[in-house]
């Protein structure tokens, strides 16, 4: 079973990486980019068979390791 976790900074949290990308895109001539937010995507191969248990496990992984829940939000997809 495969799971995909998307971790993004919470709205309102300054994203210096995103700002740097936006600035660089402007320098490269890509006008019209009004905002950039960058996050992580983590694809996990799980040898689980029960979808609900897999989702609960992945959420626990996010809470413990994959996301800094103070400033980041995460989304779990079981594929």
Site of interaction with its own copies (CB under 8 A): 6, 8, 18, 21, 24-25, 28, 30, 32-48, 57, 60-61, 64-66
CB of 52 to its own copies, least distance (A): 15
Q: Looking at beta carbons only, is 38 or 78 nearer to its own copies?
A: 38
Cα(5)–Cα(12) distance, integer angstroms: 21
> Could you tell me which of 73, 53, 54 has the C-alpha nearest to residue 63?
73
CB of 61 to its own copies, least distance (A): 6
Cα(54)–Cα(56) distance, integer angstroms: 5
Q: Looking at beta carbons only, is 29 or 70 nearer to its own copies?
A: 29
CB of 78 to its own copies, least distance (A): 14
Per-residue b or e along 19-43, where b marks 16 or more CB atoms closer than 10 Å to that residue's CB: eeebeeeeeeeeeeeeeeeebeebe
Q: Looking at beta carbons only, is 18 or 55 nearer to its own copies?
A: 18
């Amino acid at each position: 079973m495969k799971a995909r976790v998307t971790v993004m900074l919470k709205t309102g949290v300054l994203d210096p990486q995103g700002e740097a990308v936006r600035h660089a895109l402007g320098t490269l001539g890509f006008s019209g980019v009004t905002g950039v937010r960058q996050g992580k995507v983590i694809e996990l191969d799980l040898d689980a068979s029960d979808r609900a248990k897999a989702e609960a496990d992945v959420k626990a992984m996010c809470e413990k390791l994959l996301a800094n829940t103070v400033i980041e939000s995460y989304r779990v997809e079981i594929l």
